[in-house]
Structure 1
Amino acid sequence: MYSGLLIILLPLVLGWLLPLRQPAVLRLVNRLLGWMVYIILFFMGISLAFLDNLSRNLLSVFHIALVSALAILLCNLLALRLLEKKRPWQHQHKQEALPSRLRMALDSLTLCGVVVLGFLAGLTQFPFLRHASTASEYALLFLLFLVGVQLRGSGMTLRQILLNRRGMLVSLVVLLSALLGGAIAAALLGLPLKTGLALASGFGWYSLSGILMTEAFGPVIGSAAFFNDLLRELIAIMLVPALIARHRSSALGLCGATAMDFTLPVLQRAGGNEIVPAAIVHGFVMSLLAPLLIAFFSA
């Protein structure tokens, strides 16, 4: 159960151990991080086309995924907004001027377009494309390695990364509000309470939740879990730049388990290096809880 978490942390630590602080190297790392996001999105689209039993009960899959995603995200946002009112996040980062609304929409459409292109490529069913899932895993490991290098180059200490109250607080709020959203989704969809709670326990980790939920509840619920967490991840990518200035906790909380890996470069670019320790703690806690809660509610 914890081997996946170890695999996530290992490249991050290896990158951290490399004392690379030359400006030219760090600029190259930043560029590579940006490209890796697009590469992983493309592989994600290909993997989506090869998802088992996707053609069956497709309407039910998307209905369950959409209702659960909306219920969970709305509960998350409301709870995180309350957290921001009660305990504002004091920070020194001055966000760079954001592009226009049209530019932000185009950037979001570009990210979605990469997924669509990958999906269309996957529909060709070429045999070599079946390795997309494995390729995306290696790409993610390389991305995590680059993040570790970047963290070491920023000069942050391990204490700053591992001990962060804001990251723990956001994790607690996201956990409780997500489970509430899962319970509401179960009531709206006429599903058992445990199924709704299990759907809410992926926290954006679509590759994990899809597999575990398929084994426990069958292909329809498993596919719905996959799309639910995939939608959460895409929404986080699109909303983080708009939320980060005034709603920092909400921007972080939306990322869920992906805050320490896939969406970390997006958070860092929009919120600066100050948000990285909280993001890693939040992502670590969510990644630790996801398999435990899914297994518990699936029992």
Structure 2
Amino acid sequence: MPNLYSLRLKSLVVILLLSILFLQYCGENDVYLANAYPDITITVKTFDGVALPNAVVKAYTVQDGNKYLNDTKRTGSDGKVTLSISDTKSYRLEVYYPAGFLVNITENFNYSALPKKEIRVNVLSRWTLRITDKYGRDFLENVKVEITHRENETLRFSSTTDQDGKVQFTFVPLIDTTPSADYLVNISYVNRKFEITTTCSEDAKSIDIKLNLYRVIVKISDVMDRPIEGVVTELREDIQEGVAFKAVSNSTGYAVLKLIPNGQYYLMAKLGEYEVYRSNDRLVKVKDGDETASVTTRAV
């Protein structure tokens, strides 16, 4: 009967030899033993040079057309990521932002050959849209703006315009092969939706979106054709309810109603608590341009 101690010793020797061969294979091929290497740290930046947080970075070894994952980590708030890979061997580096959307591929990435220890990816740090009327005069304040990536509709971002009609989106993904992307801009305003496709890129970091919105200029005068100041003028698509566009006549008797969409409107005018004018039908018709109207009243 074989000696039990001898069998155990032989088993340990076999396991040790297999472990040595496995470690040697991993060291030669840089496939499975990523943790055997010291950590290397790189900074991931947007195309325009801003540190990109929360990006997913994956390092692969490529052999015979096959990819083998060595390490994957997320960047911190400073855009830095630490990977356990060799600082002298070459890897395929892929960056995703947000997770699942590829924004960069670096073939033959070699840390020791990287001068600044950083890579730039196809993400724009900030994209500013200003929403105005057709002629860029009047700004759309406090309206929701949603942007959708034309090549991946799961990438949607929304925000609200400020008092200057501006809305900003930070860290906007582009395309992995080029530092630009088309986005569908969707704007909700007075029960209407406006859709415009525009390009996001470093050359178009700030753009104006001009909607089909216009002015209606109403002249308010008395029966002697004298201007009346302080008259509240309203436009309504529905005489009883709905959105009312308002403006107050100035010293010359003109009320300028702004940001009016195409449509047909009732015209009303009030001086203090008294209604001094109401049209019987939709008197004002806005169609792709500014319109004018006049109101004559006995008010003084």
TM range (shorter): under 0.3
**TM (normalized to structure 2)?**
0.20
Larger Rg: 2
Larger relative contact order (CA 8 Å, sep ≥ 6): 1
Structure holding more strand per residue: 2
Structure holding more helix per residue: 1
